[in-house]
Structure 1
Amino acid sequence: MTQPTDNRGEHLGTALALAASGVPVLPLRAGKVPFGNCRTCTDNTCGGRPNMKTAGPCQCPGTCHGWAAATTDPDVISSGLWQRAWVQATGVAYHPGGAGLTVVDLDDADAITWARENLPTTQTVGTTRGEHWIYFGAMGSANGVRPGVDIKSTMAYARWRGHGTGTPTALPDAVLMLAATKPATARHAPKAIAVPAPVGGGACRHRTPAYLERGIAMAEQRITDARSGVHATVYRTFLVVLSTHGRCGCLTEAHVGRLFAAAQAKGESPRHCTDAWTNAHTRLGL
């Protein structure tokens, strides 16, 4: 009789190696999905693990809460609770955003062809149906940004399928702006606040001033071209701008004013602009 293959050691070894390189990992069960919540955390009655969409007090040591359970702590990964999951695991997942990465998930041949024609070459990993293109830089995740294309970064997980070929390159504008066309539900701030530019000013540390100007101009155009779902487009555009320049200190009040002006020209109120900017800050942890 053929004995079932025990991949526990292989999956655990892979997870520990990834964690040692700074990539947060978690086990996957049959169906390529994370393990469900424990009894204590069922239906998020615990409040949800911190860093999820709704932060909470949960500090569950198990594999609860999907991607939010991903960790680089070898003691947690090898703990008794996680060992139970590894026994049943069918694969290893990782949290791209937690490692400062973005995965462009291409599901079919048409999507791959589109990527080769429109995106810069980068690290590429084959999947059962297509390819993962991996870039340096985190951003908001979004599914179905175009036929056969998903973006996995923050608040998402991707299945580990090996190192593939090539070297990751910087997250391009084409991916950032692609996500801006996919509406997403913003978390509404309980109260509007003053909207300053991030602290700093002058040239961006990792890009040229021309890059910043081009990015702001593209953001203005994206808002101007919106035909429906203007509020969602404004939010996603703010999210893209802040994910690229929200930490380097190169945005000025003049830049923010240009974005607000474009949004108000499409009918957004100052309050809605403020809420969208605040929600984008909150989403990115700025």
Structure 2
Amino acid sequence: MHQPAPPRRDHLTRTHVRTALELAQVGLPVLPLRKGKVPFGNCRTCAGIACGGRPNMKTPGPCQCPAVCHAWAAATTDPTVITSPAWAPAWRQAVAVAYHPGGAGLTVVDLDNAAAVAWARQTLPATRIVPTTRGEHWIYRGTMPSANQVRPGVDIKSRMAYARWLGPGTGPLAVLPSAVRALVEKEETTPARGAVVSSSPARAEWDRTVATGCRHTERYVRTGLQRGLDMVRSHTESGAGSQAFGVAQFLAAQHTKCPGPCGLDAIGQQIIAAAVSVGVPEAYAQRAVTNGLNGVGAAE
């Protein structure tokens, strides 16, 4: 028997949908975020980008899935999609509303702590500011590639990325300055002149034969690994190296209480392969994943 949603949850759902429709009306492509303030995972048909990806992704694909798949690429200003039956289950579980800055012609400089905010105030031209839990979003008019960890506590969210909606902010929008664009020049997405992204051989995949001392079920490990690989592959323009570091660090943490071995080397090789597949130079991917698996505090 179908149980109706609790009144508080139902009110929250209506609030999120109403916010999304209001943002869409002014030209902000929106999407719901689930627990953890992250996008909803792909449906079975879209898992592993088997569907080819959305037509608006870096590599245009044929996917016309009506569900909230492919993270930022699902963002829309179409009210019929936002209120569609396919999106309804996601809204019922949503904890926040996000938007695609690049799709609205914007760039968000995400300042994650007080030190990053102080740096921005000394370095960047004033613009619209939105307070966040730990820092501020500085929003500029103009788009650029997105990138994570361009400097301590600073992420760039524009094309092929999403930002959580935290309110309209204060101050006039300034034009995206060259100082912000320069922050991504060191990102890992462009190999050195004359270099190839990868010439690596096929990599071994994780299975139970290399994880005889793992306390987790095979399904648990494979599900977590697949989700992590999907996250890395979703960063088709920038940030895949940093995402690979984060995935490796998270997955390694799940095995700290296992007697071992858990086959982390094989897991690492699959994460590296996923990063390389979206343009990360192999040496960078190898370093980022190794640091993540070993608990080093940065992707470098």
Q: TM-score range by the shorter chain?
A: 0.5 to 0.7
Instruction: Give the drift of 1:51.
Output: 2.1
Q: CA deviation at 1:182?
A: 2.4
* Counterpart AA for 2:55: P
Deviation at 1:184, TM superposition (A): 1.6
Shifted more, 52-61 versus 170-179: the winner is: 52-61
Indicate yes or no: 2:89 matched with 1:116: no
Which residue identity does 2:102 align to in structure 1?
Answer: G
Please state if 1:38 is matched with 2:35. no
- What per-residue deviation string (whole Å, max 9, x for no partner) do you get for residues 222-248 of structure 1? xxxxxxxxxxxxxx9xxxxxxxxxxxx
Shift of 1:110: 0.4
For 1:185 and 1:34, how far apart are their aligned partners in 2? 27
Which deviations, in whole Å up to 9, do the C-alpha atoms of 1:195-231 show, x marking residues without a partner?
xxxxxxxxxxxxxxxxxxxxxxxxxxxxxxxxxxxxx
Equivalence for 1:90: 95
Distance 1:8 1:37 in 2: 21
5+ long unaligned stretches in structure 2: 1-5, 192-237, 239-300
1:19 paired residue number = 24
Instruction: Specify the SS of the correspondent of 1:56.
Output: coil
Separation in structure 2 between the aligned mates of residue 70 and residue 3 of structure 1, nearest angstrom: 27
Deviates most, 173-182 or 76-85 = 173-182
Query: Structure 1: which amino acid aligns with 2:127?
Result: T
Q: CA deviation at 1:50?
A: 1.5
Alignment of 1:115-154 (within 5 A): 115-154=120-159
SS in 1 for 2:31: strand
Is the contact made by 2:109 and 2:157 (CA closer than 8 Å) also made in structure 1? Answer: yes
* Alignment partner, residue 162 of structure 2: 157
Deviation of the 1:68 alpha carbon? 0.2
TM-score (ref. length: structure 1):
0.63
* 1:172-183 equivalences in 2 (<5 Å): 172-183=177-188
User: 2:22 is paired with a residue of what secondary structure?
Assistant: helix
Secondary structure of the residue aligned to 2:150 is strand
List structure 1 segments (4+ residues) > 3 angstroms apart after TM superposition.
2-6
Matched, 1:63 2:63: no
Structure 1 position 168, deviation (Å): 1.1
Q: Distance in 1 between matches of 2:95 and 2:177?
A: 33
TM-superposed CA distance for 1:165, in Å, is: 1.1
CA distance, structure 1, for counterparts of residue 60 and residue 92 of structure 2 = 30
**Paired letter, 1:180:** E
Amino acid at match of 2:18: G
- The Cα shift of 1:185 comes to 4.5
For 1:8, the equivalent position in structure 2 comes to 13
Q: 1:179 Cα deviation (Å)? A: 1.5
What is the alpha-carbon distance in structure 1 between the residues aligned to residue 56 and residue 163 of structure 2? 17
Structure 2 Cα separation of the partners of residues 67 and 45 of structure 1:
17
Within 5 Å, give how 1:64-79 maps onto structure 2: 64-79=69-84
Aligned partner letter, 1:154: R
Q: Distance in 2 between matches of 1:3 and 1:95?
A: 30
Contact 2:9 2:92 in 1 (8 A): no
One-letter code of the match for 1:47? Answer: G
Distance 2:166 2:114 in 1: 18
User: RMSD in angstroms over aligned alpha carbons?
Assistant: 1.8
State the distance in 2 between where 1:92 and 1:3 align: 19
Count matched residues.
Answer: 187
Q: Distance in 1 between matches of 2:77 and 2:8?
A: 29
Q: Secondary structure in 2 aligned to 1:39?
A: coil
Instruction: Determine the C-alpha separation between the residues in 2 that align with 1:50 and 1:16.
Output: 23
Cα distance in 1 for partners of 2:90, 2:188 equals 35
Secondary structure (helix, strand or coil) at the match of 1:183 reads coil
